[in-house]
Amino acid sequence: MQTPDISRAKSAELFEKAKQYFPGGVNSPVRAFKSVYGTPLFIERGDKAHLWDADGNQFIDFCCSWGPLILGHNNDQVREAVAAQLSKGLSFGAPTALENELAELIIENNKYIEKIRFVSSGTEAVMSAIRLARGFTKRDKIIKFDGCYHGHSDSLLVKAGSGLVTFGETSSAGVPKAFADETIVIELNDTAALEAAFAEFKGQVAAVIIEGIPANNGLLLQTKEYMHFLREITKTNGTMLILDEVITGFRLGFEGAAAYYDIQPDIITYGKIIGGGMPVGAYGASRELMACISPDGAVYQAGTLSGNPVAMAAGIAALKILAQKDFYTNLNAKTATFVQDIRSYIAEKGYQVQLFSVASIFWFAFTEQQDIKKASEINPASMDAYKIMHRELLNRGVYFGPSGYEVGFISEAHTESDLDTAKKHIFEALDIVFNG
C-alpha cells in the first residue's frame, strides 16, 4: 500500500531560495531531483548509515555521498583526525608530512602504482591523467566508452554518435567541436569496435579510458576476458590504458578494479574515498610515467589545494581502517546477503527487475534482461518504474540516489537492523511498482 508523502516543506522553501543563487537551485545537476518525484531534500546531518533532512525526516542512506563514504557518515576516527588538523590549520599551499603518510599508506598496499599525485577532485585526476598520457605518447586522440562518465572536463564530456567507431559529439554547450573531435566514442563490450578504432586511427591514440567497472550509467559489469583484451590491444598499439577508479578504487578492495580484473593499467585515477569523503582525488602510475609530471617533467599540473592537510588527515584515518584484515570480506559478505535476499523476493514474486551487484555496489534495473554490459541495453522507459520505487522508499525512510541510472552503496556503518528494515521497505516499494 502506498504511504503518504513525507513533509518536504522546509526543503521546498530552501530549494526556492536556492534558485535565486544557483542554476536550477543546485550546485550539481542530479541533485535537482528532475529524474524522480518531488522537491530535492536538503540534508542537515548524517551519522553512521543515516541521514536527516531539514524537515527532520530520517533515512537509511544508500547513496553514501555517491560512494566514498564506505565507513558511513561521521565516522569517529575520521572526525577526530579532521578535528585535530583543524586546530593546526586548514590550508598552507605547502608540503606537509600528512601527504607523505597518506601516499605511503596507498602505495605500500597497492602494487599497481609506484608514484602518486594528489589533486582536489576525481574530475581533476582524470583530466591530469589524460594530459599525462598525451604528453608521454606525443599523441592527441583518446578512446572512451559510451556509458562511462569521467567527470566534466571538455575532452571527456562527449557522447557517442552513430556507427561502429565515431568521433564524439559534444554533450554540453561550451565544449568546442575540436575537443570532441579528438575523442573517439565506442560501445562497451565490443572487441570489433576497438580493433576498428585502432586500425582507423593507427598511431594516433594516446589513451583508452574506462571506468574500473562502469557505474555511472547503471552497473555495467565487464568480463575479465574483455578487460584483458583491452589491456593487450592498448599495449600492442603503444597506447596508455587509464583505469578510472574514482568509484571502484578502494570500494572493490584496497587495490580496486585493477586487482579485481588482475590487470596492470598504465595510469589509475582515484576520488574522494581516499580522503574519507573530503574533496580530494589522485592519479598514479609507474615511476617512469610519473617522471613526466612537473616539476620533474614537461607535463604541467598544479593545484593550490592539492594535498590539503584536512583531506590528508581524513584519508589517513579512513584508509587505515580499510587496510585492516577482513574489512572487505565482511563488507562484501554483508552486501551479498542483502542482495540475495532481495533477489529471492523478486524471483518469488516473478517481478521484471534485476539486481546487479559487485562487492558493496548494487543497481536495480527494471528489465527481464539478465546481463547488461552496454549503455544502449538500458531501456530509458524503465526509469518510470524507478521513479515510483524512489518515491515509495523516501516515504518509508530509505534514501537512494535521485536517478535510476545511479548505483547504490553499502557502508561498514549499515547494521543488520538497517539492512533488514531497508529490505522490508524495498519489498513494499517493489510491490507497488508492479501491482499499483
CATH code of residue 269: 3.40.640.10
pLDDT at residue 168, rounded to an integer: 54
Q: What is the DSSP letter of 113?
A: -
pTM, two decimals, is: 0.96
236 and 296 belong to one structural domain: yes
Distance from the Cα of residue 69 to its chain's centroid: 11
Reading the block at residue 83, the C-alpha cell is: 578535528
- What distance in Å separates the CA atoms of residue 337 and residue 355, rounded to the nearest whole number? 13
Q: Which mean pLDDT values do the consecutive 10-residue runs of the chain (436 residues) have? A: 90 98 94 94 98 98 98 98 97 97 98 98 96 98 93 76 49 79 93 97 98 95 98 98 98 98 98 97 98 97 96 98 97 98 98 98 96 93 96 98 96 98 98 95
Choose, from 48, 112, 149, 373, the residue flagged as catalytic.
149
In what helix (H) or strand (E) does residue 184 lie, and over which residues does it extend?
strand 183-186
Query: Does the annotation count 244 as an active-site position?
Result: yes
207 and 233 belong to one structural domain: yes
Choose, from 244, 260, 374, 418, the residue flagged as catalytic.
244
Reading the block at residue 136, the C-alpha cell is: 608521454
Task: Assign residue 351 the CATH number of its domain.
Answer: 3.90.1150.10
308 and 332 belong to one structural domain: no
pLDDT at residue 177, rounded to an integer: 81
Give Cα separations from 30 to 35, 205, 401, 402, 407 (angstroms). Answer: 8, 32, 9, 7, 13
Give Cα separations from 222 to 247, 261, 371 (angstroms). Answer: 15, 9, 10
Choose, from 272, 334, 373, 374, the residue flagged as catalytic.
272
pLDDT at residue 170, rounded to an integer: 62
Q: Residue 138: which region, alpha, beta or left (left: phi > 0; alpha: psi -120 to 50)?
A: left
Q: Last residue of some domain: 323, 340, 372? A: 323
- What distance in Å separates the CA atoms of residue 118 and residue 401, rounded to the nearest whole number? 28
Determine the structural domain holding residue 339 and report its residue range.
9-74+326-435
How are strands ordered across the β-sheet holding 205-211?
A: 115-119, 281-285, 267-270, 240-245, 205-211, 141-145, 183-186, 166-167
Domain count, the chain: 2
205 and 340 belong to one structural domain: no
> Helix crossing, 309-322 with 327-349: angle to 10°?
70
* Residue 4 resides in a domain: no
400 and 426 belong to one structural domain: yes
Bridge partner list, 115: 285
Query: Does the annotation count 138 as an active-site position?
Result: no
